[in-house]
């Protein structure tokens, strides 16, 4: 007869294996952002990994600093072929940087860093953000009824397209921004007409971006040096060959669309500002004292806490290139490793009072990339890993929006702020309804 401990160990292994073979893919669609909580119930409290199955493959679900370290280790995990096609093709585009690894990824990523990550590029965007949010404040002051989300789509879209060197009127930019925002809105709901619409908008956007690239190469457009349009039009692969105009157009969109996607965070910011009037007052006072909507330290701290807590990207998949183990769970080479993004950003073991919305935790924190469990835009080094190089742009845009929404000239209405956590991606239902108060919509320092 086998010893009891051996029998129990075998039973535990068999149970873990059985769970691993179970395919959890449908549950992601059914449970949305509650999916991760169900997976973590399979293991002891505080565990760093849990067994699951994804699209027929044995998989481990990981979180926390330990999970981030494993997931971004290219000697053990690769991204190529890991993203489900319904996401890769619709959201990111065929052949985009998100599907690359190794030297090929680093070479393509270098252009993204030049275009979006350098401080000078962020500085170029800031005055454009301020201008476009003032446009939205003026519209609210004149009786406009756009939600915070819709205003953000327009403001971010116009600002980032001017920043990227694109031609066209403000109205044309607003319309394309709405298409790009809809792609983000529809990519995660393949059971919905929104997904079909996302495919149509993806197709239109790919053609339009391709035509812009071709116009630059033909000499019909001459965008400024350093702009995304100029850089992607003349980007060459590691062999010195220009990207196809279609792929260059896809990467042009990948330089702009993440900024427009921040509009979803703006909707969550509207909800949190409505529920926390004391923070609106503090941020409004800061804005008036500084004389600008951009870069207020309190607005930035509030933006960071929004990015930590708001449900957006729930998880990211990778493929194991070698047998990997984390906290007692293993997966063989060829299996999947899935990083729990939301679960890491709100991990009890990584954050004090993780369940509380507290922007104070980010006051005075300048090097947010050094926080291993803060990964709303991915983890690891932006230059060598898959962390989004547009994160600085996103923070600048969200903080500017928060300052605009905190001005005394607007009111955030309370209805429609409920959030459907089963839908991927989600936001407050109304997008955050905003109305002028009669004091005028202009920022306080503009009324002096």
Quote the pLDDT of residue 96: 75
Tell me the sheet residues that pair with 428.
Answer: 419
Q: How many CB atoms lie within 10 A of CB 13?
A: 11
Categorize the per-residue pLDDT at 90 as very low, low, confident or very high, splitting at 50, 70 and 90. low
Contacts within 8 Å (CB) and 24+ apart, 11-20: 16/51, 16/329, 17/51, 19/51, 19/52, 19/53, 20/51, 20/52, 20/53, 20/58, 20/59, 20/60, 20/331
For the stretch 11-24, pLDDT in tens is 334 344 444 457 99
Specify the fold of 4-447.
Answer: Cytochrome p450 (1.10.630)
Whole-number pLDDT of residue 66: 97
Contact between 39 and 61 (Cβ < 8 Å):
yes
Q: Provide the pLDDT for residue 89.
A: 61
**Angle, to 10 degrees, between the axis of helix 245-261 and the axis of helix 170-186?**
80
Cα gap 411→141, rounded to integer Å: 10
Alpha helices in 22-147, H assignment, sequence order: 25-31, 35-40, 64-71, 85-87, 102-112, 119-141
Answer yes or no: is pLDDT of 86 > 90.
Answer: no
Residue 258: partners with Cβ closer than 8 Å, 6 or more residues away: 377, 388, 390, 393, 394
pLDDT of residue 438: 62
* Global confidence as pTM: 0.91
pLDDT of residue 94: 72
Taken in order 350, 355, 360, 363, the sign of the CA dihedral is positive
Instruction: Give residue 314's pLDDT.
Output: 93
* Chain mean pLDDT for the chain: 90
Dump the DSSP string for 6-47.
HHHHHHHHHHHHHHHHS--HHHHHHHGGGHHHHHHTTS-TT-
pLDDT of residue 5: 42
pLDDT digits (tens, 9 = 90+) for 226-244: 999 999 999 999 999 999 9
Taking alpha carbons only, the member of 298, 308, 420, 424 closest to residue 355 is 308
Cα–Cα distance, 68 to 378 (Å, whole number): 9
Q: Residue 376 in contact with residue 106, Cβ under 8 Å? A: no
Strands 57-62 and 410-412: unpaired
Tell me what pLDDT residue 16 has.
Answer: 44
In this prediction, residue 101 carries a pLDDT of 74
Cα separation, 94 vs 81, whole angstroms: 11
Mean pLDDT in residue range 76-100: 74
Pairing label, strands 336-340, 57-62: parallel
Interval 246-294: pLDDT, tens: 999 999 999 999 999 999 999 999 999 999 999 999 999 999 999 999 9
317 band by pLDDT with thresholds 50, 70 and 90: very high
Distance in angstroms (rounded) separating the CA atoms of residues 146 and 433: 7
**What does the domain layout of the chain look like in residue ranges?**
4-447
Instruction: Judge contact between 193 and 182, C-beta under 8 A.
Output: no
pLDDT band at 64; cut points 50, 70, 90: very high
C-beta of residue 331 within 8 angstroms of C-beta of residue 58: yes
CB-CB contact of 428 with 406 (8 Å) = no
CA distance between the termini of the chain: 87
Sign of torsion, CA 146 149 152 154?
negative
**pLDDT band (50, 70, 90) for residue 97:** confident
DSSP 8-state secondary structure symbol assigned to residue 359: G
Rounded average pLDDT over 160-186: 97
> Residue 1: pLDDT above 50?
no
* Amino acid 355: pLDDT: 95
Per-residue confidence (pLDDT) for residue 260, from 0 to 100? 97
290-313: average pLDDT: 97
Given this model, what pLDDT does residue 99 score?
A: 66
Separation CA 129–CA 135 (nearest Å): 10
Q: What is the pLDDT of residue 439?
A: 54
Whether pLDDT at 76 is above 80: yes
User: Quick one: what percent of the chain has pLDDT higher than 70?
Assistant: 91
pLDDT at residue 354 greater than cutoff 60? yes
- In this model, does residue 148 exceed pLDDT 70? yes
What is the helix, strand, coil percentage profile of the chain, to 5?
Answer: 55, 10, 35
Report pLDDT digits (tens) over 182-224: 999 998 888 889 999 999 999 999 999 999 999 999 999 999 9
For residues 430-443, give the mean pLDDT.
76
Neighbours of 193 (CB within 10 A): 9
The predicted structure's pLDDT at residue 442: 52
Q: Span 70-78, mean pLDDT?
A: 94
Q: Whole-angstrom Cα distance, residue 275 to residue 286? A: 19
- For the stretch 415-419, contacts whose Cβ atoms lie closer than 8 Å and that sit 24 or more positions apart, written own/partner, are 417/270, 417/271, 417/274, 419/268, 419/271, 419/311
Give pLDDT tens digits for 394-425.
Answer: 999 999 999 999 999 999 999 999 999 999 99
Instruction: Tell me what the mean pLDDT of segment 47-66 comes to.
Output: 95
């Amino acid at each position: 007869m086998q010893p009891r401990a051996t029998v129990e160990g075998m039973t535990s292994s068999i149970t873990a294996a059985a769970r691993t073979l179970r395919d959890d893919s449908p549950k992601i669609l059914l449970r949305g952002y509650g999916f991760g909580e169900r997976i973590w119930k399979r293991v002891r409290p505080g565990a760093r990994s849990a067994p699951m199955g994804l699209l027929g493959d044995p998989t481990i679900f990981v979180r926390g600093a330990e999970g981030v370290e494993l997931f971004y280790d290219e000697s053990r995990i690769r991204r190529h072929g890991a993203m489900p096609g319904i996401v890769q093709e619709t959201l990111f585009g065929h052949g985009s940087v998100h599907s690359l690894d190794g030297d090929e990824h680093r070479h393509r990523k270098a252009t993204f860093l030049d275009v979006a990550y350098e401080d000078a590029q962020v500085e170029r965007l800031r005055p454009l953000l301020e201008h476009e949010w003032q446009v939205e404040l003026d519209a609210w002051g004149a009786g406009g009824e756009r939600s915070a989300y819709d205003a953000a789509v327009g403001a971010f879209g116009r600002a980032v397209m001017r920043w990227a060197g694109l031609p066209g009127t403000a109205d044309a930019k607003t319309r394309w921004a709405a298409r790009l925002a809809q792609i983000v809105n529809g990519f995660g709901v393949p059971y919905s007409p929104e997904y079909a619409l996302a495919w149509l908008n993806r197709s239109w956007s790919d053609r339009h971006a391709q035509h812009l690239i071709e116009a630059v190469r033909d000499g019909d457009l001459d965008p400024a040096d350093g702009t995304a349009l100029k850089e992607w039009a003349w980007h060459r692969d590691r062999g010195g060959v220009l990207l196809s105009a279609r792929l260059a157009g896809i990467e042009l969109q990948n330089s702009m669309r993440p900024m427009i996607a921040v509009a979803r965070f703006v909707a969550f910011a509207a909800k949190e500002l409505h529920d926390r009037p004391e923070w609106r007052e503090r941020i409004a006072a800061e804005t008036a004292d500084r004389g600008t909507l951009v870069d207020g330290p309190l607005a930035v701290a509030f933006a960071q806490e929004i990015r930590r807590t708001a449900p957006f990207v729930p998880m990211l998949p990778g493929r194991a290139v070698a047998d990997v183990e984390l906290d007692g769970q293993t997966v063989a080479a060829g299996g999947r490793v899935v990083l729990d993004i939301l679960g890491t950003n709100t991990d009890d073991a990584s954050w004090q009072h993780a369940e509380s919305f507290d922007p104070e935790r980010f006051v005075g924190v300048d090097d947010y990339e050094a926080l291993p469990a803060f990964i709303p835009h991915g983890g690891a080094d932006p230059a060598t890993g898959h962390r989004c190089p547009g994160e600085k742009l996103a923070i600048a845009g969200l903080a500017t929006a928060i300052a605009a929404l905190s001005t005394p000239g607007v009111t955030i209405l309370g209805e429609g702020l409920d959030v459907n956590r089963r839908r991927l991606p989600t936001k407050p239902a109304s997008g955050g309804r905003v109305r002028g108060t009669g004091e005028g919509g202009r920022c306080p320092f503009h009324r002096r």
